[in-house]
Structure 1
């Protein structure tokens, strides 16, 4: 989908059409970050992850609205329902993006045009569609023309349309990997496609060979509708030895549960878009409450903080027998769309590195040998 959150806001309020619009967190604060923006705003230089104060400086008449995740989820559901009218082989990868296997469709280009027109006419949402012989090439094609683009990328088109691109333009290659590839003289996608297997494996491990396959248009992953539900939720709960009667007692429980959820997410290579908690009272009445996150996460502190916030918001002050945390709407980390500022990116990378080191030590010497200290 094109500028999905902004497009939904326009669909809900047609008066916003044709105007520079941005969806941003902390709308009233200077530290607010642009989550997404309309193409009219982009023409003025406004970009995703840009600080709100900077965006307003570039575009003084910028209209800014806070995110409405429940409405976005509703439109997402309707979008995927429409896709499933064409084939049962639909694999969602995020709230606004998915794969379809249309092998059985005799005219895939006409099917794409029909889908694009229906989404625009029935939901007032623009989209770009990529068509290819596999998931990777379809994904690359979908990014080549926005908004309202339809692009076909065949293997015979690689030399002309894919190989001249910078290696960082390949889906799945981040900035740090690009810098490392550049360091070894791999600047373009063609350089990667022609690189020696031995050198790639030596420098990047098995991922180096996978990157080369992608550069050559090779991707054997099937469109798998069940993969979206295999790990749709990853959770942990505990029945308490004694009923808790305060948020102070709940906090350490949520921290332990969040650590377990984080470990399972990292082990499977997933991040969560929504955090849910379960509260079971001493009379066995059970409630579940959830919150959709601005950024998909696998961070223990973020999971714990969100869970405790939900608890404080929804706990009815009665004694609690069981607590649980569930990460829902999980997606592969490489497919997650992060709306991060520079500080968040740096923090996430440091946290990921720290977790890997600690996990390695615990595997060798036993769980619980290292405890995190408190910031003062």
Structure 2
């Protein structure tokens, strides 16, 4: 590494869900495996697949029927999110045994600042040791990018999969990074890539060589940031506390008069949930938890929360859980104030693909939720709760 430069690792687990399943079921190793919702149905969507399956052309977002057409021997399993979260926790514990400077980005990737790691072990030997340990203790393969900053480390980890260790220095950029297509640059989505191509920028090198002002005019603040990244400039530090910077997003309202009218309370919950949903969207977060606050006429408070099955932010997804919490914990006394809070926030960018692909879970989760709602109907009557708004945001 260059002298006085930070030494940043980006750890990226390879085919994480499929790899976890293989770790728990060794008989699956070496076989074409896909993780998909509605695994027994043709309309199910592939979330991820093993490298053995990829050799046949199987990939994420592909319907099961199409995947099996390409790979008749494809093994398809339903996802087990509790297991994936549990293994992820163990994975990050291993990373933190090397340094406290570990920043989780999502369930299967994170950054490490290993500049001050004791022992003065060469970065490549340290990366190899970490990779070997994850493989030995968890049976999970990973790729590691080694670079002087987070952006270059992220780009490096994508260059060799599975089980790759790639060093990307600033002096390597002209031949390793700049020839890549613009859409391969971390931080550039489909729409931004299309806009840049219309402006004549087709490679990362085109972006790096462009006048900074041109990009600022075209893309505003984001244009300056992308220009800096393309030139290997990234001042962000590895921040172990970044996931806790914003812990919750909530809204509450005091009712005009204390009320025990179920219809009124239901409408208030819908309005509050919609406002929380909009704030989540605006700030770029999804939530893995939700909390409901009830303040009664005598100013006594009740706060109840629950963890969601998957990250979400839309009103129609959150509302059934909000209403379930309220109905199960309301003592039927007059209510003075209601509050809805999204907890356990996650950066939407880190789970964008999951949000797009996990919609298949909706049928199963709605079925379980409807069973609970039916029990509540029997106890309180049908007017107590409705499933949610029909119109998507």
Q: Which band: TM-score by shorter chain?
A: 0.7 to 0.9
Using structure 1 for the length normalisation, give the TM-score.
0.81
Q: Alpha-carbon deviation of 1:125?
A: 1.1
SS of residue paired to 1:28: coil
Which residue of structure 2 lines up, in the alignment, with residue 197 of structure 1?
A: 212
Residue in structure 1 matching 2:194, options 175, 179, 189: 179
Which residue of structure 1 lines up, in the alignment, with residue 239 of structure 2?
A: 224
In structure 2, C-alpha distance between the alignment counterparts of 1:341 and 1:226, rounded to whole Å: 27
Summarize the Cα distance change of 1:17–1:214 in structure 2 as closer, same or farther, 3 Å threshold: same
In structure 1, C-alpha distance between the alignment counterparts of 2:40 and 2:101, rounded to whole Å: 43
In structure 2, C-alpha distance between the alignment counterparts of 1:67 and 1:120, rounded to whole Å: 21
Structure 1 spans left out of the alignment, 5+ residues? 345-372
Residue in structure 1 matching 2:23, options 7, 11, 21: 11
1:268 aligns with 2:280: no
In structure 1, C-alpha distance between the alignment counterparts of 2:252 and 2:71, rounded to whole Å: 48
1:235 aligns with 2:250: yes
Summarize the Cα distance change of 1:70–1:88 in structure 2 as closer, same or farther, 3 Å threshold: same
Q: Alpha-carbon deviation of 1:170?
A: 0.3
- Checking the alignment, whether the CA contact within 8 Å between 1:18 and 1:40 is kept in structure 2 is yes
Q: How many residues align?
A: 341
Q: Which has the greater radius of gyration?
A: 2
Higher relative contact order (CA 8 A, sep 6+): 2
Summarize the Cα distance change of 1:317–1:332 in structure 2 as closer, same or farther, 3 Å threshold: closer
The alignment yields a C-alpha RMSD, in angstroms, of: 3.0
Q: Alpha-carbon deviation of 1:3?
A: 1.0
Summarize the Cα distance change of 1:187–1:39 in structure 2 as closer, same or farther, 3 Å threshold: same
Residue in structure 2 matching 1:291, options 291, 297, 308: 308
Q: Alpha-carbon deviation of 1:323?
A: 6.1
- Checking the alignment, whether the CA contact within 8 Å between 1:275 and 1:325 is kept in structure 2 is no
- Checking the alignment, whether the CA contact within 8 Å between 2:291 and 2:303 is kept in structure 1 is no
1:22 aligns with 2:34: yes
SS of residue paired to 1:49: coil
Q: Alpha-carbon deviation of 1:374?
A: 6.8
In structure 1, C-alpha distance between the alignment counterparts of 2:340 and 2:26, rounded to whole Å: 38
Which residue of structure 1 lines up, in the alignment, with residue 224 of structure 2?
A: 209
Residue in structure 2 matching 1:76, options 80, 85, 88: 88
In structure 2, C-alpha distance between the alignment counterparts of 1:304 and 1:157, rounded to whole Å: 50
Using structure 2 for the length normalisation, give the TM-score.
0.78
Residue in structure 2 matching 1:90, options 77, 97, 102: 102
In structure 1, C-alpha distance between the alignment counterparts of 2:115 and 2:353, rounded to whole Å: 31
